Amino acid sequence: MSKEIKIKINGIEYSGETGETILKVARRNSIKIPTLCEHSDLEPKASCRLCLVAIEDRKGLFTSCSTLIEEGMEITTDSEEINRLRKKNLELLFAQHIERCNFCVRELDCEFLKLAKEYEIDIKKYEDRKIGYPKFKFGPSICFDSSKCIDCRNCIEACEKQGVGFLDLESHNSFLEVIPSKNSKRDCVYCGQCAIHCPTGAFMEIDSIAEVETALADKNKYVVFQIAPSIRTTLGEEFGLPYGTDVTGKIFAGLRKIGAKKAFDVSVAADVTTIEEAGELIERLTRKKILPMFTSCCPAWVKYVEFYAPEFIPNLTTVRSPQMILGGLSKTYFAKKDGIDPQKIIVVSIMPCTAKKYEITRPELNIDGLPPIDYVLTTRELARIFKRNKIDLTLLESEKGDTPWDEPTGAGIIYGASGGVTESALRTAIFQLTNGQKLEQVEFKNLRGMKETKEAVIEINNIKIKVAIVNGLGNAKEILKIIKQDPSRYDYIEVMACPGGCIGGGGQPLPTTQEIRELRAQGLYNIDEIKSNRLADESPIIKKIYQEFLTNQEIRHKICHTHYLVKQKENNF
């Protein structure tokens, strides 16, 4: 039960509720208290010791991130003593962290460095303790540079929260340090939540910018870019636009400026995924095949199933993720249509995700010996490329995407938010099961939102579809336990490894918090709401591609489906 609590901060009265921390009330009222280890997704660590404040009539100082407000508390957030301690702590934190500022995920917006300037500290007061500390590469996705780590252990908690637990503490020379797990039953699934929760850029994507720049400079290559559904309402943040701003047209314009031959929209292929997946679901339901069916668009989830729960591999839909389908279509249908040698086409996929870098390396996805996608860049990497090329997204005039993959339906766009895949698939399933009647209901608002596990039962022509929607891998782990106990509890389960779905992906701009994820998702739903086509089946592009190219089972299988393999541990150090 929450009740109003009155407190004073720096002499001014504010109100809060039971259970709120001093930091939360201070932030709500725009009172700045410095923090590094605090992240609203995680438990307060109170380890960096920067957010110290004084409380009247109490001995000592208190970390505002972990101290709950009490009636009548009088808090002082700044004093000579507090500033002196914060400075020393900052100096000590910089004394362990090796600065590689010119090549860092935080290079353009680093809170750590900002604090150093604000508190006027000498970041080189002490010799760096972590000189020579190792770099670990997790698959083709994530790099952990342990010499940048300030030991806040947020990554460990984030990884545990994901149900993965690939990061451990190990003792080296009297220091307990973060290291990748040596346990053979633990492996990285590449979701990148470590990077989202690391305050100092010790975890970041393995960068493919140089490779993409080389391809762009190569006259013999034909570089096409394709953008994921979710990045259209997140990239703007990197250029100071409000959370959730739709910058689709500006991204296309920017991509052309850096030399894209074509700028495509992956949401178009999300519409293909929807149709294939709805078809598979109807088939599994009507022919009483293996249920529940799991979505497979999220490569971290797929790796999780293959490694941690291989007994559930038959439950994964065989449909490929939208990026793979679009890459495949570009190197086959598009290449033939436009008379381009598919060998010369380089497909660069802009994704909110670090696991997508892993997905493109799966050999079973190759088509006629070619990988459908050549490089994946995260949202953050694209921002870096734009900035290095002096492209200010905010100043660009919006442009359209390139045909044939330019105009998605609303269904393809909401893929970027948790519940979006299910909502899209349900729109199509209802349309197909009712033999193409106009949908009475397009929006399934009970499937939306940041809630970790959502459930619904949808009845169409006497067929009941029991769905569950999960975001955050740790919650998926729980759902798997439930299914083991009660296999018929659900028919269809959508899993997105990252909190909130792809809008909270491991490759998205920093910071990412729950409030920010909500606004990014809302941005996608706003685009959907004003689309004239909100059903994959109604898309003229989709109708055309099924009439002209995906005409038979064999070609559909080649372009749109895949299979899965039990995985052994891939990251041994």
Partner 1 sequence: MNNLVIKLKEANLTGRGGAGFPVALKWESVINALGEKKYVICNASEGEPNVFKDGFILENYPEEVINGIALAMETINASEAYLYLNPNYYDRFEENLKKIIKEKSIKLFKKPHYYIAGEETVICNLIEGKKMEPRQRPPFISTVGLFGRPTLMNNVETFYYVSKINKGEYKQTRFYSLNGQVKNPGVYELPENLSISEILKQTDNFPDFEFFVQVGGGAVGEILSSEELDDQAKGAGSITVYEKEKTDFYKIMENWADFFLEGNCDKCTPCREGIYRLKQMVKEKNIDLSEMEPIFENLEKASFCALGRGAAAPFRDLIKKILK
Q: Which residues bind partner 1 (CB under 8 A)?
A: 44-49, 52, 60-61, 66, 81, 84-85, 88-89, 92-93, 95-96, 126, 129, 150-151, 153, 169, 174-177
Pick between residue 60 and residue 339 the one whose CB is nearest to partner 1. 60
Q: CA dihedral in degrees (155, 157, 159, 162; nearest 10)?
A: -140
Pick between residue 76 and residue 446 the one whose CB is nearest to partner 1. 76
The CB-of-60 to partner 1 minimum distance in angstroms stands at 7
300 φ, ψ to 5°?
Answer: -70, -40
Pick between residue 174 and residue 220 the one whose CB is nearest to partner 1. 174
Are the C-beta atoms of residues 347 and 226 closer than 8 Å to each other? yes
Identify each DSSP E strand in 231-315 by its residue range.
262-265, 293-294
The CB-of-178 to partner 1 minimum distance in angstroms stands at 10
Rg of the chain over Cα atoms, rounded to whole angstroms, equals 25
The CB-of-177 to partner 1 minimum distance in angstroms stands at 8
Both tokens of residue 149? 């780590």
Both tokens of residue 529? 């709401």
Q: How many other C-beta atoms are found inside a 10 Å radius of the C-beta of residue 540? A: 10
362 φ, ψ to 5°?
Answer: -70, 115
Both tokens of residue 544? 């055309």
The number of residues in the chain equals: 573
Q: DSSP string of 150-164? A: -S--HHHHHHHHTT-
The CB-of-7 to partner 1 minimum distance in angstroms stands at 17
The CB-of-98 to partner 1 minimum distance in angstroms stands at 14
DSSP 114: H
Nearest of 386, 324, 316, 313 to residue 351 by alpha carbon:
324
Q: How many other C-beta atoms are found inside a 10 Å radius of the C-beta of residue 487? A: 12
Pick between residue 176 and residue 457 the one whose CB is nearest to partner 1. 176
The CB-of-96 to partner 1 minimum distance in angstroms stands at 6
The CB-of-78 to partner 1 minimum distance in angstroms stands at 15
Residues 6+ apart with CB under 8 A from 380: 105, 205, 238, 507, 508, 509, 510
Pick between residue 95 and residue 439 the one whose CB is nearest to partner 1. 95
Region of residue 408 (left: phi > 0; alpha: psi -120 to 50; beta: else): beta
The CB-of-47 to partner 1 minimum distance in angstroms stands at 5
Peptide bond into 372 cis (omega under 30): no
- Residue for token digits 């009247």? 56
The CB-of-65 to partner 1 minimum distance in angstroms stands at 10
Pick between residue 66 and residue 522 the one whose CB is nearest to partner 1. 66
Q: Where are the alpha helices (DSSP H) in 56-121?
A: 80-94, 111-118
DSSP 103: G
The CB-of-26 to partner 1 minimum distance in angstroms stands at 18
Pick between residue 49 and residue 106 the one whose CB is nearest to partner 1. 49
Q: How many other C-beta atoms are found inside a 10 Å radius of the C-beta of residue 554? A: 8
The CB-of-27 to partner 1 minimum distance in angstroms stands at 19
387 φ, ψ to 5°?
Answer: -65, -40
Pick between residue 125 and residue 544 the one whose CB is nearest to partner 1. 125
Pick between residue 103 and residue 126 the one whose CB is nearest to partner 1. 126
- Residue for token digits 């770099």? 135
Both tokens of residue 346? 């380089």
Pick between residue 60 and residue 132 the one whose CB is nearest to partner 1. 60
Both tokens of residue 438? 């106009």
Pick between residue 177 and residue 478 the one whose CB is nearest to partner 1. 177
Identify each DSSP E strand in 230-309 by its residue range.
262-265, 293-294
The CB-of-52 to partner 1 minimum distance in angstroms stands at 6
3-state secondary structure of 382: helix
d(CA 429, CA 226): 27
The CB-of-357 to partner 1 minimum distance in angstroms stands at 31
The dihedral built from the CA positions of residue 387, 391, 395 and 400, taken in this order, carries a sign that is negative
Pick between residue 175 and residue 573 the one whose CB is nearest to partner 1. 175
Pick between residue 73 and residue 251 the one whose CB is nearest to partner 1. 73
